[in-house]
């Protein structure tokens, strides 16, 4: 009887506490005035659920459609879907820092991606910049082209016939992983030519499902609940860490030449211009691993999405193909420079792909750090509040993009005959593009990613013809109009299943055939 009374009392007190918490969060919390999903006001488990479903970028977009430009997406989180707000958040180097949630991505030592302290990040980024500057990237051009050529050799038969269906999500991942492991570590894994290490691609993607969930709901690590709830993701993480451990072990066993060009060699040598200090081994390992993961998967995502949109839009494909073939008379001429820069329509196709299917579509959260708070597009937020902009949501905001779900490369191309309205429209579009983030935390690998995309697609378009699959195979990669799920229903939009800084994707399925060039000499052979 006594025990029963105690349980009844405890249950009553718990119910009162829970009700009090709900009332406070909904009515009296400083962020209570901002609309958003009811559960999101109470717990970050709401965001974690959509991270688990791998549709968090789409859910953020749906929520903005329902709740407006300022939307509460967690008990202490507000997402902002305006250009002015985005600029206030990501351009405020002195007023915000990376959210505490980034600690979930740290393994042993923070990398340049996860460092929260502004000064420490600035110093580390400066050192990374020495290893990934424009001069260093120019030195990697032969490496990039060698792997692109290897891909082309795999895609189309030598006899000029059409290939079997090729899954470009897989080939894009193999290509970029091969490029980045050689650029960063100076090691060759040849995922393009061999199946031996291809499992690492799936391991990275599956492991990052857990990472994304913890990014939004770090309390899931209490009593290691993440291990119990996400065993497959934990197993994939362990497999990847084992692979990286062997990779680093193999790399450190090799004494690099004095003129070694890989990024890790550069990181071993660089010194801060102010302090004279370099990076220790754990910092180098953290940064080099991050560069491989982020640099390979995000660019691979952009590349297979580009294949998808060119396959779905014959006019865009033909115009980009003809532009490239008119710009270069031989395959060997395809190099960074004026001729490649003249391929403005191809670049517009890349920009439109990055807008329509940003490789990282969620929100890069920032914590308000200024003692007096920060004004974001006219709204004041107190210190400790997490704020951010969903890249996918702002890229699909009709206030900034006409027909935001349509693939329209022409929206990025202007000329001297444009009227003021057209010029203003393009100016607004450029301001709303956020695929590489901006400000002091902007993507350090932006230049390299764009060069890789331009070189790869220009080489493919020059070297061979391509065509999409027919029937059900031609639908792979697009949305399902029969699903009824808003954001997953458009067959002409490439679908990503997000896992933090990586994505799971499928397709498109394409066929390739080598161009018949006749007797044009060895340099012109495809």
- Token pair for 77: 């989180």
| 3-state class percentages of the chain: helix first, strand second, coil last, to nearest 5 | 55, 10, 35
Report d(CA 401, CA 426) in Å as an integer: 9
275, 183, 508, 517 alpha-carbon torsion, rounded to 10° = 140
- Distance between CA 41 and CA 32 in Å, rounded? 8
- Burial of residue 44, with CB atoms counted within 10 A of its CB: 0-12 exposed, 13-18 middle, 19 or more buried: buried
Rounded to whole angstroms, the Cα distance separating 77 from 453 reads 34
Place of tokens 């990376």: 98
Tell me the whole-structure pTM to 2 decimals.
0.93
Count Cβ atoms below 10 Å from residue 457 Cβ, excluding itself.
24
Alpha carbons 510 and 516: distance in angstroms, whole number: 19
Count CB neighbours of 142 within 10 A: 11
Other beta carbons within 10 angstroms of residue 491's beta carbon come to 14
Task: Give the H or E element holding residue 17.
Answer: helix 2-23
Which alpha helices (H) appear in 221-271, and where do they start and end? 225-229, 231-253, 263-269
Q: How many residues does the chain have?
A: 526
SS3 (DSSP) at 494: coil
Domains of the chain, earliest start first: 31-524 (1.10.630.10)
Q: How far apart are CA 75 and CA 42, in angstroms?
A: 5
- Residues 330 and 521 sit within 8 Å (Cβ to Cβ): yes
**Range list of H helices, 313-398:** 314-327, 338-341, 344-356, 391-395
- Sequential pLDDT tens for the chain (526 residues): 666 766 676 677 788 888 888 999 999 999 999 999 999 999 999 999 999 999 999 999 999 999 999 999 999 999 999 999 999 999 866 788 888 888 877 777 877 777 887 777 777 777 777 666 667 677 888 999 999 999 999 999 988 899 999 999 999 999 999 999 999 898 899 999 999 999 999 999 898 898 889 889 988 888 888 888 899 999 999 998 899 888 888 888 887 766 677 888 888 877 766 777 777 888 888 888 888 888 899 999 999 999 999 999 999 999 999 999 999 999 999 999 999 999 999 999 999 999 999 999 999 899 999 888 999 999 999 999 999 999 999 999 999 999 999 999 999 997 766 677 778 888 889 999 988 877 666 777 788 889 999 999 999 999 999 999 999 999 999 999 988 789 999 999 999 998 667 889 999 999 999 998 753 333 334 4
Which helix (H) or strand (E) segment holds residue 374: the answer is strand 374-376
Q: Does residue 167 sit in helix, strand or coil?
A: strand
């Amino acid at each position: 009887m006594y025990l029963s009374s105690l349980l009844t009392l405890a249950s009553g007190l718990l119910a009162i506490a829970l009700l009090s918490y709900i009332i406070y969060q909904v009515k009296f919390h400083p962020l209570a005035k901002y609309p958003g999903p009811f559960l999101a006001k109470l717990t970050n488990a709401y965001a974690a659920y959509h991270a688990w479903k791998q549709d968090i970028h789409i859910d953020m977009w749906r929520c903005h459609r329902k709740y407006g430009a300022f939307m509460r997406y967690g008990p202490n989180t507000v997402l902002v879907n305006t250009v002015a707000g985005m600029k206030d958040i990501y351009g405020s180097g002195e007023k915000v820092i990376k959210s505490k949630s980034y600690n979930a991505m740290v393994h042993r030592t923070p990398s340049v991606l996860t460092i929260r302290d502004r000064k420490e990040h600035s110093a580390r980024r400066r050192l990374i910049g020495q290893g990934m500057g424009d001069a260093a990237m120019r030195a990697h051009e032969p490496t990039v082209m060698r792997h692109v050529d290897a891909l082309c050799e795999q895609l189309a038969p030598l006899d000029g016939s059409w290939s079997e269906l090729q899954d470009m999500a897989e080939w894009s991942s193999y290509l970029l992983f091969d490029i980045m492991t050689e650029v960063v570590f100076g090691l060759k894994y040849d995922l393009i030519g061999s199946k031996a290490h291809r499992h690492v691609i799936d391991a990275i993607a599956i492991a990052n499902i857990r990472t994304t969930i913890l990014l939004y709901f770090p309390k899931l690590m209490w009593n290691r609940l993440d291990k119990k709830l996400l065993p497959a993701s934990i197993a994939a993480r362990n497999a990847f860490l084992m692979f990286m451990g062997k990779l680093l072990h193999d790399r450190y066993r090799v004494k690099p030449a004095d003129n070694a060009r890989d990024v890790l060699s550069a990181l071993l040598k660089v010194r801060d211009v102010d302090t004279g200090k370099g990076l220790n081994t754990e910092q180098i390992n953290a940064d080099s691993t991050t560069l491989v993961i982020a640099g390979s998967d995000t660019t691979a995502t952009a590349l297979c999405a580009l294949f998808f949109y060119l396959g779905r839009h014959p006019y865009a494909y033909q115009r980009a193909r003809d532009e490239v073939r008119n710009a270069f008379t031989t395959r060997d001429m395809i190099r960074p420079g004026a001729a490649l820069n003249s391929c403005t329509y191809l670049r517009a196709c890349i920009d439109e792909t990055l807008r329509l299917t940003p490789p990282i579509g969620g929100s890069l959260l920032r914590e308000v750090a200024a003692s007096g708070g920060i004004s974001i597009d006219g709204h004041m937020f107190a210190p400790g509040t997490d704020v951010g902009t969903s890249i996918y949501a702002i890229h699909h905001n009709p206030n900034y993009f006409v027909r935001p779900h349509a693939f329209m490369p022409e929206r990025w191309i202007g000329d001297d005959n444009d009227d003021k309205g057209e010029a203003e429209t393009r100016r607004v579009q450029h301001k709303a593009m956020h695929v590489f983030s901006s400000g002091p935390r902007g993507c350090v690998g932006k230049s390299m990613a764009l060069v890789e995309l331009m070189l790869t697609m220009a080489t493919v378009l020059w070297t061979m013809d391509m065509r999409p699959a027919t029937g059900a195979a031609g639908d792979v990669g697009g949305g399902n109009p029969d699903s009824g799920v808003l954001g997953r229903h458009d067959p002409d939009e490439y679908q990503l299943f997000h896992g933090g800084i990586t994505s799971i994707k499928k397709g498109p399925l394409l066929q390739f055939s080598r161009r018949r060039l006749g007797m044009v000499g060895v340099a012109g052979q495809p």
